[in-house]
Amino acid sequence: MKKIRFVRPQDRLIGALLNREEESQLREKWAQEDDEKINRLGVSFDLNPDHPTFFKELALKLARELYPASKKRGRINKWTELNRAALVVEIERLKEQSLAKSPLKTQCYNLSKIKPWSEFLESQHCDSTTPDPGSILLRMYQDSKTLPITEAVRAVYRFHQERGSLSDWERFVRDVVENPHPG
């Protein structure tokens, strides 16, 4: 489609030798040109020039194009308090189950290789500054142990443990890790 160009009013000159009728005809011609271009512009935005709200819709389309709302900067942080608390409980769970007394960093590294944590860490929006997934989990574990929500998540785990419904606990962890910002 050919680009629509509008002539600025200051670029439309009326000759000094024109009489009133010729000047009126020239102004009418310019008004018709502008109306045609406005209609073509509206059509380029998939608007119907005959619709009663045509001019409002066109003004909104142009305003949104010329003055867009500012975008949020940076990556979306996938580490929510809830999935951080779930991480704490999962690491504590690994420590309980571990027969060998492996270091915490090793347990974090092992957890980073298990779904859903492995996929979470591999996702492009993960806010990690180091390529070592075990270090990332260790740092998040240390930063999250004292979050107020962590004790509540521990209670949820204990509830499932006592009921013998650890598969429900694992489903819960998978949900909060895979969907950090539901909605």
**Residue-wise pLDDT tens digits, 94-141:** 888 775 577 888 888 888 888 888 888 876 444 544 578 888 888 888
Work out the percent of the chain whose per-residue pLDDT is above 70. 90
Q: Can you read off the two tokens belonging to residue 158?
A: 């204990």
> So what's the pLDDT on residue 59?
92
Percentage of the chain beyond pLDDT 90 is 15
Q: What is the pTM of this model?
A: 0.55
Name the least confident of 29-33, 97-101, 170-174. Answer: 97-101
pLDDT per residue as tens digits for the range 71-87: 777 666 788 889 899 99
Residue 88 confidence (pLDDT): 92
Quote the pLDDT of residue 182.
63
pLDDT reading at 26 higher than 80: yes
Say yes or no to pLDDT of 183 above 60.
no
Asked if pLDDT for residue 3 goes beyond 50, the answer is yes
